[in-house]
Chains A and B, each alone.
Chain A
């Protein structure tokens, strides 16, 4: 289905978050690094919604608090100190990070703020040990040019990254978070909502990403950049989609979201045609545990065996609606199920639109419908879990079903790897911010701004021309180098190792892209390691043909050296002495031909020697030795 996005009035705004590659975190001396091992330190906390003068409390946060949700934090000594544990006040703002944000802001034609004030933005889902995220606005009101269009940039902020969720326990009542990521500096840049098609959203994100990379001070790899999208349709709603990690996914996420909203608008029209009224959807839950006492459905069986409950609710005149597709592998029923998971901490829901299935047999469905008093045109939703969880889950189901009569509910969603989105939480109210009094304001003096302005990275067009003239790259390769995440590294390698520019550029762009496509996790190899490999090429320790193999090996064997790779792959080069000996032997073995052909034997001998050394000798050196011996 071809959609005319301009006609349906699609509007998209972007918020891009990118981790900065500074030496330390934003408010302490810890390195900005993650850990994979078991945690060395754990501690358990509860976060309490603080009351505002306006009496506002974040509904999701307050609900979690009432349910007694606890947070188990995980840490290790290498990546966190007392600051991330909220056991020590923050240290002063990391000025290197502030300079990176200023650099990016000036590249986006923004106006720096005169004096930066760090704020506390209340976030009590546990992702911040303090219960707030520290954030500050650094510059505002800029623009970038994407193609021929001017995209207004609203603001550039500097903030601390949050802890990362690693799981839940105890029927969902304890959430685990790892605090290694907490405090890593993030730049956030936001565009105005002036993007009108999925592809344009992707292009703008790409343009912003390139500017951020051009600062040379941002992290690379999966999880270091997160794109949030604000997508709205006139008859739909403003939906905030969090955490799109892959740039290539943005257009798909927007397309799917448009599909979802159009689908929900269709559902609204149908429900209204059927004459469904919100008040007909009642929070009347029927205990149907008895019906499933001997069920073959594994999920329900497990719950019943544990003494938990199966409760059902009737959705009048909803027959067939829940099985309607909204996105790939995502139906209206999934919308209800996501709400039930969030508010009721259950694994999912069952509904009669998809029955009999999952081991639930026709007799059980019949009994269930009868118990719920459901007629032909009604749907029955049922859930198995603890009494409390089931109650909360079905309440959420009824609420979501009522919203379907009105169309698309405004909410915050999270992006999945396939481009679809899932319910994350209700839209938070106005940001609740108050000053971080532990950190004094930092003035951005005009001297600092001028210093940064004079040292701005060169714009992409200028860089393209320079790479072509300075390194004799062809236009295609130069363009790839400019667009590449490794654009900065390219010049350093060429300058320091003396390896030809084309070799380095081809590897850093085309070869890496191909390796990534083949499933090599290229982020695992550090810039330092790539440098070491090319230094090896420059010194003749390995041949350039072996670079890709070494790289793949290093990506699979973390924190190893070039030497380890050379040993493991049997790439040790012949020394000049060994090579001379080999050349002598080959000449001896072919004495007859050599005597007959004289210097004309060179080609044949070269072939024999190169075959024997199999990539472990520099052809130039072999040529020189052979010529010498043949004299």
Chain B
């Protein structure tokens, strides 16, 4: 095996046996041990697999793992054919269709399977996208750009800035809508970040992801993407939204406000739920239905305001019974400029943390609080503990749930280093992150259960 061997996932005995036989992934090989012989294509090994099995794809299509011992004989029978895939021809762009820009951050919104080796490859050029999701050709003139290629859990504030700047550039160049394909794990954080960074939007910016990978026929990726492109190019609103499945069915996609949406389930298609809010719009049967009157209107004449700076000196401290207040001290010592406390209930943190909090505030750290209940609004006037925290200088963040509150604190401290200015900005409604009224249906269960029907 060549130097490329290591990237095949093989190690130890298996790797040296393959090297000795001069076999590479994709080659047709024959493995003989205990009078039993298998022949097939050498397949890459998962990096977590052990070091004494070789994986071969048999003629029947099945993969089998074969145990390699000193008595095993490996022979190379034939050279592997390189998988070839001709991208389908780019269909004619219909001039009457709106212009959509699809930015990719690393999640695979569209992919192809190489059934020969089992590899899944992402398809990301516009022509690939049309090939995999042909409906797009009738929806918009699509332009694609790969902004970065990383898992969503590896995104940081710097990536948010870059993404905001790239989106702004495309909007200024006249895109009728921007779609951002994103891994779902931290998609809601990015949605909140862009909501603060892209102000006075003339057109929508829609984040979209998939809960089932796009190589499977049941993937939600294509349906979500089509819905997102339709919302971005034809929606009457101009905000940062997040478009995903509304239910377990493939029938409707809902767009929620970037500051008010949260991933609420580890695996369901309808994992994203509006929190303390209702969805902005539903896309169903190629129609966009607005679900609220409370939204910023699309208007190409509006001048986009770009504020893409985020502070990295912000921490989230979740209160729990037995929390060691030294955690707060540690953050302050590290130079933290803002701390978001994730308090219990209406907005509480135990008294044994008061000294640490007071010390932080005295050193100019902005200390704010959101509730770990997720649903509902903090109210720190009801109990002594809340009132005492207010007196210590803790800022209550209304009905913002902790993730959005954290992102906002990062953004605020990216805009100003003045503590008082920061506190003022933190309490200002920038992108619909505060809503003055909380309605009974706004809780994380089906509406019909919520009111007992």
Contacts and interface: CB of A to CB of B under 8 A. Distances in A.
Interface of A: 43-56, 70, 82, 85-89, 111, 113-117, 119-122, 124, 129-132, 135-137, 141, 155, 157, 430-435, 437, 440-441, 443
B116 to A, nearest CB: 7
A479 to B, nearest CB: 36
Given A43-B249, A114-B66, A115-B66, A52 B112 contact: yes
Contacts of A157: 62
A55 B86 contact: yes
Contacts of B8: none
A434 B121 CA distance: 12
Nearest to B248: A43
Nearest to B266: A88
A131 B216 contact: yes
Nearest to A430: B61
Contacts of A437: 46
Given A50-B214, A52-B112, A432-B61, 18 more contacts: A49-B217, A51-B123, A51-B131, A53-B112, A54-B116, A87-B267, A111-B36, A113-B66, A115-B67, A117-B64, A119-B62, A157-B62, A430-B115, A433-B61, A434-B113, A437-B46, A443-B50, A443-B53
Nearest to B82: A53
B120 interface: yes
Interface string B97-136: 0000000000000011111101111010000000110000
B53 A114 contact: yes
Contact of B53 (A56, A88, A115): A115
A82 B222 CA distance: 21
Given A48-B222, A87-B267, A130 B217 contact: yes
A440 B67 CA distance: 16
B55 A45 contact: no
17 contacts: A43-B247, A45-B218, A49-B217, A50-B113, A50-B215, A51-B112, A53-B84, A53-B85, A54-B114, A86-B218, A117-B64, A120-B216, A431-B60, A433-B118, A434-B113, A434-B215, A441-B53
A187 to B, nearest CB: 15
B85 A155 contact: no
B132 A443 contact: no
Contacts of B121: 53
A131 B120 CA distance: 16
Contacts of B249: 43-45
A252 B65 CA distance: 40
A383 B219 CA distance: 37
A46 B115 contact: no
A117 B63 contact: yes
B250 interface: yes
Which 4 pairs from chain A and chain B are nearest by CB? A131-B217, A115-B65, A433-B61, A114-B67
A137 B64 contact: yes
B64 to A, nearest CB: 5
Given A44-B250, A117-B55, A433 B62 contact: yes
B219 A48 contact: yes
Interface in B233-253: 247-251
Given A53-B113, A89-B267, A130 B65 contact: no
A430 B58 CA distance: 12
B251 A44 contact: yes
Given A114-B53, A434-B115, A129 B62 contact: no
Nearest to B35: A111
B49 interface: yes
B218 to A, nearest CB: 4
Contact of B65 (A54, A124, A132, A441): A441
Nearest to B219: A48
Given A86-B212, A87-B268, A117-B55, A132 B63 contact: no
Contacts of B282: none
A389 to B, nearest CB: 21
A432 B60 CA distance: 10
Contact of B218 (A53, A131, A435): A131
A443 B61 contact: no
A89 B216 CA distance: 13
A136 B91 CA distance: 40
B217 A53 contact: no
A113 B267 contact: no
Given A50-B113, A131-B217, A115 B85 contact: no
Contact of A443 (B65, B111, B114): B65
B265 to A, nearest CB: 8
Contacts of B251: 44
Contacts of B119: 434
